[in-house]
Structure 1
Amino acid sequence: MSGAVVLVHGIRGASTIWRQQMAALGRAGIPALAPDLPGHGTRRGTDFTVDAAMEVIDRAAEELSDHGPVLVAGISLGGYLTLHWAARPSSRPAGVLAASCCTQPRGVGLALYRRTAEVIARLPDGGARLSDTLSRRLLPPEGYVDLTAGGVAVEVMVPGLTAMAGVDTERDIRAIGVPVWFVNGSRDHFRIHERRFLRAARDGRLVLIPRATHLVSLTHPVAFNRALLDIAGSLSRSAATMVR
């Protein structure tokens, strides 16, 4: 199967959240990269900015460009960044998979989320214990291990949310000329604008995973991997048809 996949992780996590997806893509013979965003994983300690994140995605997509059509997939913050990246005229993805990011990151909701992050950041450990407790409670054991393996950058919450205040996701979606798959857990709290985002997309499709919550790739990896492989396969088949 021709084609390749870039996987963009969410806030506080690292590329290790994609271990199960990287394994599934490897078994299918699909080249893939899962880079760490600025301020996360191997780049922890560097400043998170949207522009720096765009550069990370640029490099990964460019590295895979010789393998055929590139699907760029992201979850949560990574989903928003993936949509923002794909909306730029200089970007050339074959398709976008945007998971767990169907709420417009602006206005009162974002302000309240950022305020909560600021309060948590004032805890003696910066909120590390609270984050760990919630992750253990909400994720299956393997998902928890994958989330924490690359380190959990609790310190990036406030600067990350602050940076995202300048991103208009609905406008980004309107500017994307390739298929966009919105992959959400049915119990995800980030689905407020799901229908609005679908209407905004020129070619938008919704994949809803039953009983899954926000970090759908970690809570329901088998269902998520099936969707990921189906989408990558459809792009590969479309590219092959165009060549003929």
Structure 2
Amino acid sequence: MNGASDLRFFPSADGDLAYLDTGSGDPVVLLHSGFTDHRVFDAQIPALAAGYRVIAPDVRGHGASANATAPFRWADDLAALLRHLDTGPAVLVGVSMGGAIATDTVLEYPELVRAVVACGAATSDFEYTDPWVRQVLAEQAAALGAGDVEGWLTAFLRYVPGEHRTAADIDPDIPGRLREMALGTLAKHTPDEENHHVPMTDTWARVPGIDVPVLTVNGALDAPDLIAEAERFARTVRDGRSVTIDGTAHYPNLERPEELNKILLDFLGSLRSR
């Protein structure tokens, strides 16, 4: 399901960007987490495509999309894709990095956004202060610098259970799928490759101006500082709310797919009455 043969390609100004486009109706864009690709939403795509047009891109440098050869911003890539498809305003649903892409896009291109759902994310210039997360990030950086792919993967996959669980508490299929996607993305890059991504800064000053509905979804076992920042984001926009999913950490889309799908479908349904 949702394999490479289903992908389409948008010829951007800097290489082809891959995306899945399925279903019909109001557009919903699914934005994946870092080091993965659109397949991280395999449990969401069919559930949403039953009533909506679902667009699930591979972010530049991930999955089947081209690497960057020049400076780029996430929001600009997504806006170009939506305009290429003559689609919008769309509901943007993002997990982790994808949630940050959604918030960047609503700030930069509000005319293209109907609503935002950010799972395990707040604004794109959020930085962790949580000691456990910072230790894992340091382990990832050290492994990557040493060319130790297995060491990097071991650290990366610690986000699945989070600080207060172990791998034994997790369905092994979940880290297995994340590992496969991450290896595919890592294989696209070299250790000395320049990072062309241009981050947005000072986003919080613009957050109160967001006037579309916003929902933040947090795994109860995710990092406390991220949960707090996401809840702050929901409070600061004009029309925001936050929900928590028990028994999961950073990937509710993988650990609690049916619960997340219900939350998403309820939220999407509420937009139709507005």
**Shift in Å at residue 194 of structure 1?**
3.4
Please report the TM-score for the alignment, with normalisation by the length of structure 2: 0.70
Are 1:23 and 2:46 counterparts? Answer: yes
**Shift in Å at residue 25 of structure 1?**
1.1
Distance 2:64 2:102 in 1: 20
CA contact (8 A) 2:139 2:155 kept: no
Deviations 1:81-106 (A, max 9, x none): 11011112454211100110147735
Are 1:130 and 2:130 counterparts? Answer: no
**Shift in Å at residue 200 of structure 1?**
1.3
Amino acid at match of 2:51: G
Task: Find the counterpart in structure 1 of residue 236 from structure 2.
Answer: 200
* Cα separation, partners in 2 of 1:177 and 1:231, compared to 1, 3 Å: same
Structure richer in helix, relative to its length: 1
* Cα separation, partners in 2 of 1:85 and 1:23, compared to 1, 3 Å: same
Structure richer in strand, relative to its length: 2
**Shift in Å at residue 119 of structure 1?**
1.5
Are 1:3 and 2:26 counterparts? Answer: yes
Q: Which has the higher contact order (CA 8 A, sep 6+)?
A: 1
Deviations 1:112-160 (A, max 9, x none): 5765543221233344442576469375344345434544434699977
* Cα separation, partners in 2 of 1:100 and 1:88, compared to 1, 3 Å: same
Identity %: 25
Q: How many residues align?
A: 234
Are 1:176 and 2:221 counterparts? Answer: no
Distance 2:153 2:144 in 1: 11
Structure 1 portions without partners, runs of 5+: 239-244
**Where in structure 2 are the equivalents of 1:1-244 lying within 5 Å?**
2-26=25-49, 28-43=50-65, 45-46=67-68, 51=73, 53-62=74-83, 70-89=90-109, 91-102=111-122, 105-106=125-126, 109=129, 115-126=138-149, 127-131=151-155, 134=158, 137=167, 139-152=170-183, 153-154=185-186, 163-164=198-199, 166-189=200-223, 190-238=226-274
Please report the TM-score for the alignment, with normalisation by the length of structure 1: 0.78
Cα RMSD (Å): 3.6
CA contact (8 A) 2:100 2:123 kept: no
**Shift in Å at residue 42 of structure 1?**
0.7
